[in-house]
């Protein structure tokens, strides 16, 4: 085992009680007859001048019926500070009582251990207490007497001081302003201690904590040089520290409002800081004595600590370190090392363990760094006194021949060590036998030993020998060799135990500490060799079940059908839910279709993907016909009808996506104009948001709507123009958090997502239901395997919240459960989420039939198509082309062709190519190719003359050639990057056949989990199975309604804090819809490619 030395490792011995020195009142054998000038709290303070030694001063005071001042507290200190005797008193001094005690700790700091024969005197202006070893010096003395209220000759003259006159109540926060000045801080601390001592309900938790904090901060600002030069200041700091500690222990509401267990550590930090300040300023040993204990501090090199004794062997309060062979591997790198042994006569951590005797803290440090020792090969010995210990048993009996003396022990604490001493009247060997429950016999005994004169006739019974079992134990004593007449046995016994304060668990513990064989009734030897807090077993084994008994256990189903009934219920609910999920998936499969707008011009090839998120509010969907118009920095689109003949659109909570094609880029989309015709039974529409993605540049434009398009809701408008969101709005915490939370609950919360999954997710409802069932079965199997496992009492508590304690064993069960359950289930879910949907293209046969039935060609259709082309091109200001009125004759057609020729010449004159001119020329080329194809099919009789028809045909053919040249020229300087994007995005998906791998893993893990759940259920029996089912319900409730929502919200917060917007979806379906638009262009122009 190893040894761990750390802050606040306190060792104690049981049995005996040490009481704290109480405040002493001056005793008078008779009433003091003289008139008293200075009276405080019914005590007369008489300053007697003269020149007397300390012993003469004590005798003089006692002859007058008084005694030298023995007790000094903050109230008396403040009273004395305000006394004015007259004249300059800085050169006067007065003897005080023997070992005058300051209730809040008056320490004595020296470079060596002090003598017990020192004397103390006091100075005024300022008030100082000085200890000297020369008690023959000549001084005045301060004599105290009781003042009797019934006395007529006593004049109660009270000095007007802060201690007696009323004053405004001060708060402890005032100390914060004096942290930089230690003298002012201590003066304010004295006043605050006095206020707490005389105020009901003080100290409060806040005032106590603030007092300690300010005092510690002020102490840390001192230097070692200051600490050595200002002994009084250092003493004053310890006075105040101990004062607040004792006041906290004696507060009136200690039972209803106990002090925190870290109180002593906070006060001790001040003690330790002072010790280090003094120790760092000198190379000598330092001793600080105070009424509640002593602090020993010394500095060493690592080799000096070999078998070093810390403390005072004379007072039997010391610690002995092991040899350097055990310390060297861990201490060799530190130099110098400060060793600090603090001994306390009271227990700083009151508990139900009946702790008494001395308490010590052993610290090793190097500079400001604490040194932790562990896994030492030798134990550290700590010796602690038991000043008030009593011998529990002391019996003398006459041992007759062939008889035994039986001693009975009632062991209530299994960790107690018992020492039994059997002293014979003659030098003989004794035979001792230990047994539990009844006197030992030849067949009934636990341990035995032989005591001889060389072994002091003492037997130590350790907790291991007592099997750590409380109850009645017996020890029989008999002579093992020759018996002598009138032989007597003197039997004595005492008990002892060693503990240490476990900071993490905030409790006393025996781990790694045991009582040594050098212990006596007045002194306990503790041998400690602690492990670290994480020294317990790392892996927690689940409950054992014998797999070989599977058939036998399954045969008990008629007697124990609890777990089987539960599984059958879950599987029944799963099948019903799976049928509903398959039906819902078939309905939603048609709704997830991406719509190619019918209003797209066949020649338009610049594509935008528009997504409309309808809100989840009641009646948020609409039956009206909705139109949209995009307004960009370089032009406007025409108005598009947002309809789909194959599916309903804009239903409540739906996310509908449309491919909108324009003749040319619109630039930065700044506005969006939405409108509906208020038709149908529920025309009102609540639109949540709109996203527009430029499929060529991959730029995304967000429109946060959150409004009604309705005549009777919101602002009663069915037409609205919305502005694009700015970058700071898109990346705002609110937007990202709302988006992530919404998508998280609908997609990542595996249970909630069954009801309303994202409409475009490849992860279907049926797959989600099956994953939930798999997760449920895994949870059941792991829960039942680790249910009600034996609690490891040695498992350390990592942290506590009220009555909730989290142990290392519980943490490891959680980690192991997660490692068994989550990886496989997360893999299955990831497979289903990442499968590329199977895209089924339209059959070539259908296309050929459609091509066989082209629409009829008429002059009116030609005029309309030509008018649409010119109108679309003229919608961009960059094209500098005015719109034409309606074309009604062949003459208008010729004028339109002249207008087109002018525009082609304009494009030829553009020296800089760009996407605008590429797509404009491509659109114009498509329109001219369509016109040429129609003119070829049109009969010349529709024209006034054959000559005019031929001229129009030749002009169109010439314009087609010019348009091809312009398009090729601009395309050569501005290639389109669409294919590169497609290749990169397509690589994120798994092949569609991976769905079979996902189902295989899901069914496998579900089958294994079901098997082990049934096996454990039959193994436990009916009674335990019922209890397990009840605990399982709580576990599932916690997972579904607490852990999963917290996970979703946590992820949303993380993404929001990282300011990472929700990524726009990219699937192969987009490419397929774009291909459909290209196919429309192919049939429109009659050419495979342009």
What average pLDDT score do residues 119-138 get?
Answer: 79
From the list 740, 744, 753, 748, the residue with the least C-alpha distance to 585 is: 753
Phi and psi dihedrals of 471, rounded to 5? 135, -165
How far is it, in rounded angstroms, from Cα 91 to Cα 125?
9
How far is it, in rounded angstroms, from Cα 847 to Cα 842?
8
Burial of 355: CB neighbours in 10 Å, binned 0-12, 13-18, 19+: buried
Q: How confident is the prediction for the chain on average, in pLDDT?
A: 77
From the list 1045, 572, 1037, the residue with the least C-alpha distance to 783 is: 1037
**pLDDT, position 624:** 94
What dihedral angle (degrees, nearest 10) is formed by the CA atoms of 881, 887, 890, 893? 20
Phi and psi dihedrals of 475, rounded to 5? -130, 120
**pLDDT, position 669:** 93
262-301 in b/e form (b: 16+ CB < 10 A) is ebbbbbbbbbbbbbbbbbbbeeebbbbbbbbbbbbbbbbe
**pLDDT, position 198:** 82
pLDDT(391) > 60: no
**pLDDT, position 369:** 77
Q: Of 536 and 344, which is predicted with more confidence?
A: 344
Query: Which residues are bridge partners to 689 per DSSP?
Result: 613, 704
**pLDDT, position 330:** 79
**pLDDT, position 153:** 37
**pLDDT, position 668:** 92
- pLDDT digits 0-9 by tens, 968-1022: 888 887 766 544 444 434 445 677 788 888 889 889 989 998 998 898 888 888 8
Lowest mean pLDDT among 366-380, 798-812, 1011-1025, 1066-1080: 798-812
Phi and psi dihedrals of 45, rounded to 5? -110, 115
What average pLDDT score do residues 450-469 get?
Answer: 85
Whether the bond between 126 and the residue before it is cis, its omega within 30 degrees of 0, is: yes
What average pLDDT score do residues 579-592 get?
Answer: 80
**pLDDT, position 169:** 40
In the Cβ-directed half-sphere of 449, how many Cα atoms lie within 13 Å?
A: 15
How far is it, in rounded angstroms, from Cα 819 to Cα 619?
45
Burial of 4: CB neighbours in 10 Å, binned 0-12, 13-18, 19+: buried
Instruction: Let me know: does 921 contact 981? Beta carbons within 8 Å.
Output: no
Query: Would you say the pTM of this structure is higher than 0.75?
Result: no
pLDDT(194) > 90: no
**What is residue 980's three-state secondary structure?**
helix
Sign of CA dihedral 269, 275, 277, 283: negative
What average pLDDT score do residues 863-870 get?
Answer: 89
Sign of CA dihedral 214, 218, 221, 222: negative
How far is it, in rounded angstroms, from Cα 350 to Cα 356?
10
Q: Name the one residue in this structure whose structure tokens are 């300022």.
A: 126
For the residues of 287-348, what is the DSSP string, one character each?
Answer: EEEETTEEEEEEEE-GGGGTT-EEEETTTTEEEE---HHHHHHHHTT--SEEEEEEEESS-S
How far, in whole angstroms, is CA 143 from its chain's centroid? 61
pLDDT(6) > 90: no
What average pLDDT score do residues 376-397 get?
Answer: 72
What dihedral angle (degrees, nearest 10) is formed by the CA atoms of 231, 237, 242, 244? 160
Q: Of 868 and 513, which is predicted with more confidence?
A: 868
Distances in Å between the alpha carbon of 952 and those of 102, 630, 873, 889? 120, 35, 21, 12
Q: Of 36 and 221, which is predicted with more confidence?
A: 221
In the Cβ-directed half-sphere of 108, how many Cα atoms lie within 13 Å?
A: 19
How far is it, in rounded angstroms, from Cα 241 to Cα 218?
12
- pLDDT digits 0-9 by tens, 13-31: 222 222 222 333 333 333 3
pLDDT(112) > 90: no
Sign of CA dihedral 753, 758, 764, 767: negative
How far is it, in rounded angstroms, from Cα 460 to Cα 470?
17
- pLDDT digits 0-9 by tens, 414-433: 888 888 888 888 888 888 99
Q: Name the one residue in this structure whose structure tokens are 């192969």.
A: 1068
Structure tokens at 720: 């609205």
From the list 362, 524, 381, the residue with the least C-alpha distance to 12 is: 524
For the beta carbon of residue 856, count every other beta carbon within 10 angstroms.
Answer: 7
pLDDT(535) > 50: no
What average pLDDT score do residues 806-827 get?
Answer: 68
Give, as one character, the DSSP assignment of residue 746. I
For the beta carbon of residue 1076, count every other beta carbon within 10 angstroms.
Answer: 16
pLDDT(595) > 70: yes
How far, in whole angstroms, is CA 413 from its chain's centroid? 37
**pLDDT, position 359:** 79
- pLDDT digits 0-9 by tens, 291-309: 667 888 888 888 888 888 8
How far is it, in rounded angstroms, from Cα 144 to Cα 26?
6
- pLDDT digits 0-9 by tens, 656-703: 899 999 999 999 999 999 999 999 889 999 999 999 999 988 899 999
**pLDDT, position 623:** 92
- pLDDT digits 0-9 by tens, 48-91: 877 788 888 888 888 887 888 877 766 677 677 666 555 555 56
Query: Which residues are bridge partners to 720 per DSSP?
Result: 674
Could you tell me what percent of the chain has a pLDDT over 70?
A: 75
- pLDDT digits 0-9 by tens, 628-669: 999 999 888 999 999 998 888 998 888 889 999 999 999 999
pLDDT(540) > 90: no
**pLDDT, position 147:** 64
SS (H, E, C) 993-1040: CHHHHHHHHHHHHHHHHHHHHHHHHHHHCHHHHHHHHHHHHHHHHHHH
**pLDDT, position 690:** 94
pLDDT(790) > 60: no
User: Could you give the angle at the alpha carbon of 414 between the alpha carbons of 410 and 419, nearest 5°?
Assistant: 65
């Amino acid at each position: 085992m190893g040894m761990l030395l750390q802050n606040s490792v306190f060792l104690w011995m049981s049995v005996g009680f040490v009481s704290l020195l109480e405040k002493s009142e001056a005793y008078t054998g008779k009433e003091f007859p003289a008139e008293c000038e200075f009276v405080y709290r019914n005590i007369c303070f008489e300053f007697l001048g003269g020149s007397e030694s300390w012993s003469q001063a004590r005798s003089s005071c006692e002859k007058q019926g008084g005694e030298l001042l023995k007790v000094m507290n903050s109230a008396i200190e403040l009273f004395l500070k305000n006394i004015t005797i007259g004249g300059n008193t800085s050169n006067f001094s007065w003897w005080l009582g023997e070992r005058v005690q300051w209730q809040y700790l008056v320490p004595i700091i020296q470079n060596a251990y002090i003598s017990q024969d020192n004397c103390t005197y006091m100075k005024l202006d300022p008030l100082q207490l000085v200890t000297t070893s020369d008690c023959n010096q000549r001084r005045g003395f301060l004599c105290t007497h009781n003042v009797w209220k019934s006395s007529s000759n006593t004049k109660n003259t009270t000095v007007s001081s802060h201690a007696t006159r009323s004053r405004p109540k001060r708060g402890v926060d005032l100390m914060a302003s004096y942290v930089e000045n230690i003298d002012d801080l201590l003066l304010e601390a004295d006043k605050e201690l006095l206020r707490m001592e005389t105020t009901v309900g003080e100290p409060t938790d806040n005032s106590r904590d603030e007092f300690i904090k300010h005092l510690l901060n002020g102490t840390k600002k001192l230097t070692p040089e200051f600490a050595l030069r200002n002994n009084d200041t250092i003493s004053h700091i310890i006075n105040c520290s101990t004062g607040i500690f004792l006041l906290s222990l004696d507060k009136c509401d200690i039972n209803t409002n106990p002090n925190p267990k870290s109180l002593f550590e906070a006060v001790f930090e001040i003690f330790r800081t002072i010790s280090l300040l003094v120790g760092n300023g000198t190379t000598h040993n330092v001793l600080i004595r105070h009424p509640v204990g002593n602090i020993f501090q010394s500095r060493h090199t690592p080799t000096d600590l070999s078998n070093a004794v810390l403390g005072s062997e004379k007072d039997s309060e010391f610690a002995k370190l092991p040899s350097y062979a055990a310390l060297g591997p861990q201490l060799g790198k530190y130099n110098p090392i400060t060793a600090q042994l603090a001994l306390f006569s009271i227990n700083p951590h009151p508990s139900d363990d009946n702790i008494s005797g001395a308490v010590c803290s052993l610290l090793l440090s190097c500079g400001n760094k604490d040194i932790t020792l562990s896994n030492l090969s030798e134990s550290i010995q700590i010796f602690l006194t038991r000043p008030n210990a009593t011998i529990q048993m002391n019996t003398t009996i006459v041992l007759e021949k062939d008889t035994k003396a039986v001693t009975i022990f009632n062991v209530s604490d299994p960790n107690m060590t018992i020492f039994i001493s059997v002293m014979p009247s003659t030098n003989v060997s004794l035979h001792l036998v230990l047994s539990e429950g009844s006197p030992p016999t030849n067949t009934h005994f636990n341990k035995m030993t032989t005591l001889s004169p060389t072994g002091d006739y003492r037997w130590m019974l350790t907790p291991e020998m007592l099997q750590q079992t409380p109850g009645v134990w017996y020890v029989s004593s008999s002579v093992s060799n020759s018996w002598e007449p009138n032989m007597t046995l003197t039997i004595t016994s005492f008990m002892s135990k060693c503990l240490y304060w476990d900071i993490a668990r905030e409790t006393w513990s025996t781990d790694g500490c045991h009582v040594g064989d050098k212990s006596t009734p007045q002194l306990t030897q503790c041998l400690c060799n602690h492990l670290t807090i994480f020294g317990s077993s790392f892996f927690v084994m689940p409950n054992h079940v014998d797999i070989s008994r599977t058939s036998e256990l399954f045969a008990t189903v008629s007697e124990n059908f609890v777990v089987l009934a539960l599984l059958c219920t879950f599987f029944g609910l799963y099948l019903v839910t799976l049928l509903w999920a398959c039906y819902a998936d078939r309905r939603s499969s048609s709704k997830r279709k991406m719509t190619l707008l019918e209003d797209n011009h066949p020649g338009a090839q610049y594509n935008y993907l528009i997504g409309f998120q309808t809100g989840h509010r009641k009646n948020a969907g609409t039956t009206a016909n909705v139109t949209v118009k995009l307004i960009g920095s370089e032009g406007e689109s025409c108005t598009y009808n947002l309809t789909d003949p194959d599916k309903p659109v804009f239903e409540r909570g739906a996310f509908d996506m449309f491919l909108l094609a324009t003749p040319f880029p619109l630039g930065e989309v700044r506005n969006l104009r939405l409108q509906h015709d208020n038709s149908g039974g529920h025309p009102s529409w609540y639109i949540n948001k709109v996203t527009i993605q430029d499929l060529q540049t991959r730029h995304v434009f967000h429109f946060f709507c959150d409004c009604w398009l309705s005549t009777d809701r919101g602002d009663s408008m069915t037409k609205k123009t919305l502005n694009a969101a700015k970058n700071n709005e898109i990346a705002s915490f609110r937007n990202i958090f709302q988006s992530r939370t919404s998508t998280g609950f609908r997609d990542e919360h595996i249970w909630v997502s069954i009801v309303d999954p994202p409409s475009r997710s490849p992860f279907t409802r049926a797959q989600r239901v099956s994953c939930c069932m798999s997760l449920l079965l895994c949870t059941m199997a792991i829960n039942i395997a680790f249910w009600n496992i034996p609690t490891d009492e040695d498992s350390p508590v990592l942290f506590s919240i009220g009555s909730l304690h989290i142990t290392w064993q519980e943490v490891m069960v959680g980690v192991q459960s997660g490692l068994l359950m989550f990886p496989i289930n997360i893999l299955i879910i990831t497979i289903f989420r990442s499968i590329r949907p199977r895209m089924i293209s339209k059959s070539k046969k259908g296309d050929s039939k459609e091509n066989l039935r082209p629409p009829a060609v008429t002059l009116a259709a030609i005029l309309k198509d030509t008018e649409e082309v010119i109108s679309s091109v003229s919608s961009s200001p960059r094209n500098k082309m005015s719109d034409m009125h309606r074309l009604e004759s062949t003459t208008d057609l010729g004028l339109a062709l002249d207008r087109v020729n002018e525009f082609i010449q304009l494009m030829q004159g553009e020296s800089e190519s760009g996407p605008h001119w590429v797509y404009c020329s491509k659109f114009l080329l498509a329109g001219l190719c369509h016109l040429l194809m129609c003119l070829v099919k049109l009969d010349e009789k529709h024209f006034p003359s054959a000559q005019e028809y031929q001229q129009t045909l030749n002009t169109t053919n010439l314009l087609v050639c010019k348009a091809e040249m312009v398009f090729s020229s601009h395309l050569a300087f501005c290639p389109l990057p669409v294919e590169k994007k497609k290749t990169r995005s397509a690589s994120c998906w798994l092949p569609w056949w991976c769905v079979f791998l996902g189902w295989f893993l899901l069914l496998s893990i579900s089958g294994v989990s079901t098997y082990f759940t049934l096996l454990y259920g039959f193994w436990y029996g009916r009674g335990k199975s019922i209890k397990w089912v009840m605990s399982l319900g709580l576990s599932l409730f916690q997972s579904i309604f607490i852990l999963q929502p917290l996970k979703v919200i946590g992820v949303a917060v993380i993404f929001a804090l990282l300011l990472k917007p929700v990524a726009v979806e990219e699937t192969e379906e987009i490419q397929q819809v774009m291909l459909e638009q290209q196919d429309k262009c192919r049939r429109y122009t009659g050419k495979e490619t342009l």
